[in-house]
Amino acid sequence: MSDLEKPSAKRDGFNIDMVRVLLEGRAFFALIAIIIVFSILSPVYFSVGNFLTMSSHVAIFGLLGIGMLFVILTGGIDLSVGSTLALAGVFAGFLLEGVPLEAFGVVIYPSVWVVVVLTCALGAFVGAVNGILVAYFRVPAFVATLGMLYVARGAALLMTDGLTYNKLGGSPELGNTGFDWLGFNKLFGIPVGVLILLAVAVVCMLALSRTPFGRWVYSTGGNSRAAELSGVPVKRVKLSVYMISGVCAALAGVVLASQLTSAGPTAGTTYELTAIAAVVIGGASLMGGRGSVRNTLLGAFVIGFLADGLVIIGVSAYWQMVFTGSVIVFAVLLNSVQYGSKRKSAKSADKEKVSAKVSKAQAV
Amino acid sequence: MLHEQAVADNNLAGTTLGEPILSARNVAKSFGSVQALKEVNFDVHCGQVTTLFGENGAGKSTLMKILSGVIQPTSGEILLEGTPVNFSSTTDAQELGISIIHQELSLAPNLNVRDNIFMGREIVGAGGVDFREEERQAQLLMDELDEPIHPLTPVEDLRVGQQQIVEIARALSTNSRILIMDEPTSALSASEVEVLFRVIKDLKSKGVSIVYISHHLEEALQITDHAVVLRDGVMTAYAERKDIDLEWIVRNMVGEGFDLGSAPLGYEMGGIALSLQDVSVPDEALPERSVVDGLSLDVRAGEIVCIYGLMGAGRTELLESVAGRTPMSNGKVFLKGEEVSQCSIAERIEKGLVLVPEDRQRDGLVQTMSVGENLSLASIGAFTRKLMTSRELEQDVVDSSIRKVHIKTSGGEAEIGSLSGGNQQKVVIGKMLATDPDVVMLDEPSRGIDIGAKAEVFKLLSEGARQGLAVVFSTSEVGECLSIPHRVIVMRKGRISAEFGPGVTKEEIMAASGESVAA
């Protein structure tokens, strides 16, 4: 009897393992599938040039997605990143056109690095407002950041009167050239925007996996009450993640403005939803506590490569929306499958291990 | 009206007053390696109140969950009027007339009484839900229960006692003949208890059989007809009301069997490690009222102090505010002579004052993290070098914790949900001990873990005390007061009502807490 059972049990175990591998690597497999399908459908898709172009699109979503990941890991959500991106873009444009100081009768032209730093500071400020509302005034994250979605967009429109900054190239005599370098140029053949994304990703990956702060983020999202009683500064952690999200959005805004060499107040509309989608496709749980930078990046690539592929093979914009939406829902569906089965199988597997150990100990 | 139906059913089946209507025969239930119930026989007597006595973790709730179909027994059978029945869900049990009213009420506070009573069983007429008929029936039920609650009152506007009546009404509306009440009086005021008892007597007269669970022994004795005592999953005694008294119940509940150890002796205690001075904690719901009222207490290094009290005595509130979770309205906390009243939780942990919370699922564990990550959560600083955490050093912390508190696990990477309750509790304790504290406070450390794990936890605390740790733990089980503590503090209504040395008896402790008749 037991002899008969053994092989089947083994086969089951193998199947479960295969399913788990497929589930856990689903963003990766989806990306591979997308690349294969579009390469077959279009001769121009599979080329280094096209990959680089698509990657610089992905850079925007990737930056937003990584910021969003931090917020989602704590169990929150940040709906304001699209607007923050636009506000950061026009703020950078405003600085590059020159800041008139009327009291002194001079116009200051800050250099590009100063512009980038100031813009990121603005993003941090926007995030800090979100974070203070959520952590200290207990406004639900959805509401606080929804408000910021409107406020930041409005501020961007007010700054430009609804117009777009076009002359972002700067001029040599003013010493503020080089803004287009961020989005336009390449370093070692790779667009600078993509390199920025990779740099941010590496820093964030280390921060999440190897620093106390990362552990605090995961524990805050997993169970904030338990985290608090273990001495985790839960409120400061929440404030920090919204600031990180704001900085990432500002960086994305700078890169996008640079790519387009123009900064408009309506840039990045609905990008917050794309960012959430990237995080979710990457397998993160909207309840908090689960997710990783690597998978979020994969999620961003899935969305970016899918959208561009659909454009390349000439699918209409309307169908693009249908496809993208379906992919997102499918990803969330798989999330619930994964977290449902993982809990069960891990539990039984571990119990077996424990009982094996215990019986061994007893035998001795 | 509905009861006439129920009575008629009873008569049809031929069960007469006092005869067993629902019986459990040799029922056993195990959760993994923990055996919660062992070969239990239990009868519910028709038209009478059967009370189930037992300490926390004795298996009362498990037995009730089996009788009401929430869980299925591992072995044994359930007989309803002599015929074996098999409930695969609460709906099955409900259809056969068995309802359970849980300790935590399951009403939707935003809906009114009528909608709560008919939730999920709406009376649907031609034009949608027949609200008028529902209201009429709800009113009828309220009249029968003699409660002046209007069916359209939102449940959140009702007092807890009235909400309980609504729960009972809902159970009755499903034609329940057997009503299981799990700790129905724990949140009620004295006058509300009277109302409830009147309702129970009323239900009895209508032929409804009642199973009653309470920690309030004196109250239960007023109402019950039969007493059954469970201890560690075994039924230890049965008697009719007329043959027993309080002393009989306590003797059978607590037992003399298992030794939880005794106070560690033979070493010098150190100076005062923790000093509470005139501590008051406001009630969260009613800030002008104090749940802890001007309490002072000194604990020395190496000393084990046990705080005993009934539910609502203010134990949890006291410990949580000393740990820095909730603010005090008055008073000071000193740790080794240094005032820490204004410190954050993190600062208090840093200085050596830690709390192991009562509800480990809600406050103790991060369920999305592994055993190891949970164990090291409170002491991340100890293995951080130049901003980064060190994997090797963390592994050392985790491994030594697993060894020190004897956690049965396949390793630090295991999911926290894969552990048994007792081992999860040890993870929470291990996490706090890993911070190398001077004072450890544990709120009901033995809640929901089996007797073996309990003994291990107590041994751990004794060893800690021997090495100079000051231990304060709270409990609602008298037996634990007589084990390892050097000193027993009894709390009652936010104050210390008595203080005892190791020679104390259970009766003295219970009298001081307000639990016994003798008081």
Read off the pLDDT of residues B450-459 as tens digits, 9 standing for 90 and up.
667 788 888 8
Question: Could you tell me if residue A206 is inside a domain?
Answer: yes
Cα B470 from Cα B355, distance rounded (Å): 12
Cα B317 from Cα B16, distance rounded (Å): 48
pLDDT at res. A131: 94
Question: Could you tell me if residue A69 is inside a domain?
Answer: yes
The ipTM value here is 0.77
Question: What is the percent of chain B where pLDDT is above 70?
Answer: 92
pLDDT in tens, B127-156: 788 888 888 888 988 887 777 888 888 888
Which residues of chain A are within 8 Å of residue B366 when distances are taken between CB atoms? 218-219, 222-223, 226-227, 289
For residue B363, the 8-state DSSP code is: I
Please say if the pLDDT value at position B517 is more than 60. no
Distance set, CA B370 to CA A201, A218, A282, B379, B466 (Å):
24, 11, 20, 15, 31
pLDDT in tens, B434-472: 999 999 999 988 776 766 778 888 888 999 999 999 999
pLDDT in tens, A73-90: 999 999 999 999 999 999
Question: Could you tell me if residue A129 is inside a domain?
Answer: yes
Any idea how long chain B is? 519
| Mode of pairing for the β-strands spanning A190-191 and A186-187 | antiparallel
pLDDT at res. B207: 85
CATH number at residue A314: 1.10.3470
Which residues, at least 6 apart from B126, have a Cβ–Cβ distance to it below 8 Å? Answer: none
pLDDT at res. A340: 61
pLDDT at res. A351: 43
Cα B113 from Cα B97, distance rounded (Å): 21
Per-residue pLDDT averaged across B295-313, rounded? 87
Cα B438 from Cα B336, distance rounded (Å): 9
Which residues of chain B are within 8 Å of residue A353 when distances are taken between CB atoms? 410, 414
pLDDT in tens, B388-409: 888 888 888 888 888 888 888 8
Q: Sheet of B20-31: strands edge to edge?
A: B34-45, B20-31, B75-80, B83-85
Question: CB contact, 8 Å: B380 with chain A?
Answer: yes
Across the A/B interface, how many CB contacts are shorter than 8 Å?
104
Cβ separation A219–B377 shorter than 8 A? yes
Cα A219 from Cα A215, distance rounded (Å): 6
Two tokens, residue A277? 């989608």
For domain B2-104+176-253, give the fold: Rossmann fold (3.40.50)
Question: What is the percent of chain A where pLDDT is above 90?
Answer: 39
Per-residue pLDDT averaged across A232-256, rounded? 94
Interface of A with B (CB under 8 A): 206, 210-212, 215-216, 218-219, 221-223, 225-233, 285, 288-290, 343, 346-347, 349-351, 353-355, 357-358
Q: Which of B359, B380, B428 to mutate to test the interface with A (most CBs of A within 10 A)?
A: B380
Question: CB contact, 8 Å: B325 with chain A?
Answer: yes
More confident residue, B70 or B188: B70
Domain ranges of chain B: 2-104+176-253, 360-436
Q: Sheet of B98-101: strands edge to edge?
A: B98-101, B178-182, B209-213, B49-53, B226-231, B234-240
Residues paired with residue B49 on neighbouring β-strands, in sequence order = B210
SS3 A7: helix
Measured between alpha carbons, how far apart are the two ends of chain A, in Å?
Answer: 28
Please say if the pLDDT value at position B294 is more than 90. no
The C-alpha angle A251, A252, A255, rounded to 5 degrees, equals 85
Cα B264 from Cα B267, distance rounded (Å): 8
**Which chain B residue is nearest to residue A349, measuring alpha carbons?**
B418
pLDDT at res. B414: 85
Cβ separation A358–B323 shorter than 8 A? no
Burial profile B118-154: b = 16 or more Cβ within 10 angstroms, e = fewer: beeeeeeeeeeebbeebbebbbebbebbebebebeee
Which range is least confidently modeled, A308-317, B8-17, B327-336?
Answer: B8-17
Residue A302 CB burial class (10 angstroms; 0-12, 13-18, ≥19) = buried
For residue B326, the 8-state DSSP code is: S
Indicate the number of domains in chain A: 1
Q: How confident is the model at residue A253 (pLDDT cuts 50, 70, 90)?
A: very high
Q: How high is the mean pLDDT of chain B? A: 82
Q: Which segment, A92-106, A238-252, A269-283, B94-108, is predicted with the most confidence on average?
A: A238-252
pLDDT at res. B33: 62
Residue A118 CB burial class (10 angstroms; 0-12, 13-18, ≥19) = middle
Cα A281 from Cα A8, distance rounded (Å): 34
pLDDT at res. B57: 65
Cβ separation A231–B350 shorter than 8 A? yes
The residue segments making up the domain with residue A157 are 28-340
pLDDT in tens, A119-176: 999 999 999 999 999 999 999 999 999 999 999 999 999 988 877 887 776 666 666 6
